[in-house]
């Protein structure tokens, strides 16, 4: 702030509060809806204050009896989403850090070619090659399996670039010292590079966990067995019934629960999240 | 592209280190992309047993198909509207947070979390608000004399997906604008203030021009986001309807190929989409991020 203008400061807070309210509004209404009975919600104007059915509704969503209409139980979908997000996170980090290590610390034939092949992944998001990728996964017998859900999403150019850039800033002396001491590349990687990359790995974990958790199109394509449904698919299916029969109170309770893990990750690890976001996207 | 000054002498190890990444990329990305290009030039017989080369026929048909051109136009409207809306809100909020001496962190926390909300959930939330039987917003609009019905009215449906997509993207733009604002030299602002220019003038003549790299970067990223990451929003709300009104390109590829099983046309659509991504990526890397050198 350059000069003191009370009115402008007041306006600033006003803009921010309006922004926060606007951003929170849909989630607030969803939360309110999740605390009422279905009859209240469909009976005209929905209330704007919480009702008394919070515990009852959430219990019903989380209980095993939530399995209905060809959907698995909510907890199974939570596990599937969690499994998918974690495998994608660790898979992406593992293969990216190894390839960045190879590209920065070795000279070999086809190094540039390898780099470009990785770069190309940026230009081929799943959304643009739905059918042929589905076909490959089907031919490999990976439909309805964790590998099918995760492996095709694990290739990552951005994570590789992030590690590459970071490795370039690691002083050469560290590696020279390691070599003088007689340690080979793998020992150098494990004892020096990996510990140094801790913050970058943590920041990537936050971003990639969110990425894995919110996947929708890919699970929709490769799973037909309800045992592998993820939360995002399940929620969509809960509303894909006749308009008059949507169990809004349960859908909204399920929606609120499905938002919690990634939103908590962002709020609790805000610093890492911002770091991960601004560094991977550039 | 450089390596370190000194390197490890191993010959085989680097290939082993690269193998997982390259195998996955080749099998699940490059090979399918190649297949899409190949089948966009072919026609399969009805039993899928043999395919014959048909040249650019699928492309020619697509580019003269009013439905495809319509979808292209709607995607453009959608992309521009979401980008403009979410960038404007993101910038306003970032400027406000930057102006505060304290409390900025709390506001930031309260503003960034929608980034972590899945597109399909964003769709469900706004759909619920605009739903004709239960929706709060539909109710208020009704009080104002607007009969909201995104199931029948194409414009309403488009507005619905624009709002849902922009809502989710504001937090992203906010964070990048905030980072951009933090790198505007404070001395420039002070100098301008001493010369007697007020906050509005300083913003438009100093801050905004200095933000232009961020703005351009965000423009490209946002267009990319609206074109490719909004599948969940459309699928959860309008499913492309009513009467194709929200059938954006990504949704149409899915609809024609996965549900409609029209392989040739879907492949040609995939290839055109890939071209769009390639152009956006090249622009992003060539003109936006000069600081990052690969």
Q: Is B172 on the interface with A (CB under 8 A)?
A: yes
DSSP assignments along B177-190, one per residue:
HHHHHHTS-HHHHH
Quick one: pLDDT at residue A101? 93
* Confidence grade of residue A44 (pLDDT, cut at 50, 70, 90): low
Q: Is B124 on the interface with A (CB under 8 A)?
A: yes
The CA angle A158-A164-A170, to the nearest 5 degrees, is 145
d(CA B148, CA B139): 8
Facing residues of A66 across strands? none
Residue of A46, A113, A118, A129 for testing the chain B interface, max B β-carbons within 10 Å: A129
Top-confidence residue, A40 or A74: A74
> Rounded to a whole number, what is the distance in Å from the CA of A217 to chain B's nearest CA?
7
Quick one: pLDDT at residue A68? 66
Two tokens, residue B252: 């149409």
CB contact under 8 A, A172 and B221: no
Quick one: pLDDT at residue A37? 83
C-alpha distances in Å from residue A157, one per residue of A96, A119, A132, B85, B238 = 8, 6, 21, 29, 33
Rounded mean pLDDT of chain A?
Answer: 87
Checking if the pLDDT of B293 tops 60, the result is no
Question: If you average pLDDT over each of A240-249, B115-124, B184-193, which comes out highest?
Answer: B115-124
Within 8 A by CB and 6+ apart from B80, the residues are none
Quick one: pLDDT at residue A274? 86
Quick one: pLDDT at residue B291? 45
CB contact under 8 A, B35 and A119: no
Residue of A11, A12, A23, A168 for testing the chain B interface, max B β-carbons within 10 Å: A23
Tens digit of each residue's pLDDT (9 = 90 or more) over B56-75: 888 888 888 898 999 999 99
Tens digit of each residue's pLDDT (9 = 90 or more) over A157-204: 889 989 998 999 899 888 888 888 888 899 999 999 999 999 999 999
Checking if the pLDDT of A107 tops 80, the result is yes
DSSP code for A61: H
Q: Model pTM?
A: 0.90
Quote ipTM for the complex.
Answer: 0.89
Checking if the pLDDT of B292 tops 50, the result is no
Instruction: Compute the average pLDDT of residues B149-166.
Output: 91
CB contact under 8 A, B129 and A29: yes
Place of tokens 């070795």: A106
Quick one: pLDDT at residue B6? 73
Cα distance between the two ends of chain A: 28
* Confidence grade of residue A244 (pLDDT, cut at 50, 70, 90): low
> Rounded to a whole number, what is the distance in Å from the CA of B182 to chain A's nearest CA?
12
> Rounded to a whole number, what is the distance in Å from the CA of A65 to chain B's nearest CA?
23
Instruction: Compute the average pLDDT of residues B187-198.
Output: 88
B/e letters for B118-157, b = 16+ CB within 10 Å, e = fewer, are bbbbbbbbbbbbbbeebbbbbbeeeeeeeebebeeebebb
Checking if the pLDDT of B290 tops 70, the result is no
Checking if the pLDDT of B294 tops 70, the result is no
Checking if the pLDDT of B172 tops 90, the result is yes
Looking at beta carbons, which residues of chain B come within 8 Å of A249? none
Instruction: Compute the average pLDDT of residues A204-227.
Output: 91
Quick one: pLDDT at residue B171? 94
Checking if the pLDDT of A75 tops 70, the result is yes
Closest Cβ–Cβ partner in A2, A95, A239 for B21 = A95
d(CA A231, CA B58): 37
CB contact under 8 A, A155 and B229: no
Radius of gyration over every alpha carbon of chain B, rounded to an integer in angstroms? 24
Tens digit of each residue's pLDDT (9 = 90 or more) over B202-227: 999 889 988 988 898 899 889 989 98
Quick one: pLDDT at residue A123? 83
Q: Is B92 on the interface with A (CB under 8 A)?
A: yes
Quick one: pLDDT at residue B143? 84
Q: Is B15 on the interface with A (CB under 8 A)?
A: yes
Instruction: Compute the average pLDDT of residues A144-155.
Output: 92
Quick one: pLDDT at residue A160? 92
3-state DSSP call for residue A43?
Answer: coil
C-beta of residue A227 within 8 angstroms of C-beta of residue A247? no
Looking at beta carbons, which residues of chain B come within 8 Å of A277? 115, 172, 175
Looking at beta carbons, which residues of chain A come within 8 Å of B167? 23, 26
Residues 194-223 of B with CB under 8 A from A: 199, 202, 217, 221
């Amino acid at each position: 702030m350059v000069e003191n203008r009370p009115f402008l400061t007041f306006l600033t807070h006003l803009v921010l509060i309006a922004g926060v309210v606007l951003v929170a509004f849909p989630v607030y209404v969803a939360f309110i809806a999740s605390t009422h009975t279905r009859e209240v919600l469909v009976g005209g104007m929905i209330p704007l204050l919480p009702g008394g059915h919070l515990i009852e509704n959430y219990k019903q969503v989380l209980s095993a009896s939530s399995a209905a209409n060809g959907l698995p139980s909510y907890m199974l979908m939570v596990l599937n989403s969690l499994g998918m997000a974690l495998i994608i996170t660790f898979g992406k980090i593992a293969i990216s850090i190894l390839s960045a290590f190879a590209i920065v610390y070795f000279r070999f034939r086809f190094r540039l070619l390898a780099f470009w092949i990785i770069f190309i992944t940026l230009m081929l998001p799943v959304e643009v090659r739905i059918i042929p990728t589905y076909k490959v996964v089907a031919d490999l017998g990976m439909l309805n399996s964790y590998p099918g859900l995760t492996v095709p999403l694990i290739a990552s150019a951005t994570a590789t670039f992030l590690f590459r850039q970071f490795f370039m800033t690691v002083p050469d002396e560290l590696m020279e010292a390691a070599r003088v001491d007689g340690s080979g590349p793998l020992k150098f990687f494990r004892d020096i590079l990996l510990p140094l990359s801790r913050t970058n790995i943590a920041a990537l974990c936050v971003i990639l966990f969110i990425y894995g958790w919110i996947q929708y199109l890919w699970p929709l394509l490769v799973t037909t067995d309800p045992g592998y449904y993820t939360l995002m698919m399940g929620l969509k299916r809960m509303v894909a019934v006749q308009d008059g029969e949507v169990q809004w109170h349960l859908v909204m309770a399920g929606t609120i629960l499905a938002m919690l893990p990634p939103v908590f990750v962002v709020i609790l690890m805000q610093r890492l999240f911002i770091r991960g976001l601004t560094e991977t996207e550039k | 592209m450089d390596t370190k000054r000194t390197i490890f002498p191993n010959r085989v190890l680097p290939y082993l280190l690269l193998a997982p990444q390259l195998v996955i990329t080749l099998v699940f990305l490059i090979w399918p992309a190649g297949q899409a290009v190949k089948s966009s030039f072919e026609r399969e017989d009805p039993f899928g047993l043999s395919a014959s080369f048909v040249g650019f026929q699928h492309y020619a048909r697509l580019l003269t198909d009013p439905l495809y051109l319509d979808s292209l136009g709607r995607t453009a409207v959608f992309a521009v509207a979401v980008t403009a809306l979410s960038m404007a809100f993101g910038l306003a909020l970032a400027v406000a947070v930057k102006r505060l001496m304290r409390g900025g962190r709390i506001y930031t926390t309260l503003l960034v979390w929608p980034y972590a909300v899945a597109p399909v959930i964003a769709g469900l939330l706004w759909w619920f608000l605009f739903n004709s039987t239960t929706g709060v917003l539909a109710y208020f609009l009704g009080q104002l004399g607007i009969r909201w019905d995104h199931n029948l009215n194409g414009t309403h449906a488009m507005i619905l997906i624009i709002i849902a997509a922009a809502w989710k993207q504001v937090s992203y733009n906010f964070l990048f604008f905030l980072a951009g604002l933090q790198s505007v030299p404070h001395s420039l602002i002070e100098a301008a203030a001493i010369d007697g220019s007020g906050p509005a003038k300083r913003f438009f003549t100093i801050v905004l021009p200095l933000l232009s790299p961020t703005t351009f970067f965000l423009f490209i990223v946002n267009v990319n986001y609206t074109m490719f990451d909004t599948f969940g929003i459309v699928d959860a709300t309008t499913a492309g309807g009513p009467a194709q009104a929200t059938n954006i390109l990504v949704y149409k590829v899915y609809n024609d190929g996965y549900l409609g099983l029209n392989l040739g046309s879907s492949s040609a659509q995939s290839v055109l989409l890939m071209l769009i991504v390639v152009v956006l990526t090249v622009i992003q890397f060539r003109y936006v991020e000069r600081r990052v050198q690969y």
